[in-house]
Amino acid sequence: MPTDQLSATFAALADPTRRAILARLSSRECSVTELAEPFDMSLPAVSKHLRVLERAGLIARGRHAQWRPCRIKAAPLKEVAEWASHYRALWEGRLDRLDTYLQELQHKEKNHDRRPRRK
Amino acid sequence: MPTDQLSATFAALADPTRRAILARLSSRECSVTELAEPFDMSLPAVSKHLRVLERAGLIARGRHAQWRPCRIKAAPLKEVAEWASHYRALWEGRLDRLDTYLQELQHKEKNHDRRPRRK
């Protein structure tokens, strides 16, 4: 299981049904029943996807006893957009920006003495 | 295993070591030995991560017999950035853009009669 936020977000997004659920929730809150309907899926199957999205912080669920509406949370999606934007220079052919990003990464590593976990 | 490109990309990115390898490769091509060094990892462990990245199309490897340099490929990263950008309105509070995206999605679904896979 991924332990950092960005890894948890990417893992949760690695499924077309979960991404479709997020697209649906981006316009309004929905109940599990409403979410299940267009996907022709069982409620337990949808609930399983929702648990993954909730654990990753991509959705939050209301605390009503009978109707627990799901709503999308933007913060992890913003993190994904910011992460990907560092590579924009690659497909736009502007390598100066990427150099700045790499220098920032090296600076962080030096300051925090963080090394990626052994695997 | 994810079958669509975006799911494969997200799955490959759901690991901090693989993201660190991509950051390293964004400045220049590297051999497996060079990639292994800063991570204090074994060559087989790095090779395993490289295979995941290669299968997802995030890197390509040279065909030299002894030195198979790895290079980053930008296309899947661009796809991630484009996907995430659809949700920009959520954290910027501009919901008009998101409406346009949802209308596009519904239009696509209608035209192609595509439904998410059953799970």
Taking each helix axis from N to C terminus, what angle separates A95-112 and B16-25, rounded to the nearest 10 degrees? Answer: 130
Is 50 exceeded by the pLDDT of residue A54?
yes
CB B98 within 8 A of CB B87: yes
| ipTM of the prediction | 0.78
CB A57 within 8 A of CB A73: yes
* Cβ partners under 8 Å of residue B8, min gap 6: A14, B2, B55, B56, B57, B76
Residue B117 DSSP one-character state: P
**What pLDDT is stored for residue A72 in this prediction?**
94
- Pairwise CB contact (< 8 Å): A119 & B49: yes
The span from the first CA to the last CA of chain A, in angstroms, equals: 13
Give tens-digit pLDDT for B47-73. Answer: 999 999 999 999 999 876 677 899 999
Classify each residue of B8-25 as buried b or exposed e, where b means 16 or more C-beta atoms within 10 Å of its C-beta. bbbbbbbbbbbbbbbbbb
Give tens-digit pLDDT for A4-53. Answer: 999 999 999 999 999 999 999 998 899 998 999 888 888 999 999 999 99
pLDDT confidence tier of residue B3, bands split at 50, 70 and 90: confident
Instruction: Look up residue A83 and give its two tokens.
Output: 């992460």
Quick check: B118 contacting A, CB < 8 Å? yes
Quick check: A106 contacting B, CB < 8 Å? no
* Radius of gyration of the CA atoms of chain A, in A: 18
- Pairwise CB contact (< 8 Å): A78 & B85: no
pLDDT confidence tier of residue A65, bands split at 50, 70 and 90: low
- Pairwise CB contact (< 8 Å): B6 & A16: yes
Distance CA A16, CA B116 (A): 7
CB A11 within 8 A of CB B14: yes
- Pairwise CB contact (< 8 Å): A115 & B39: yes
Give tens-digit pLDDT for A68-106. Answer: 899 999 999 999 999 999 999 888 876 666 677 777 777
Tell me the residue type at A20: A
CB B16 within 8 A of CB A117: yes
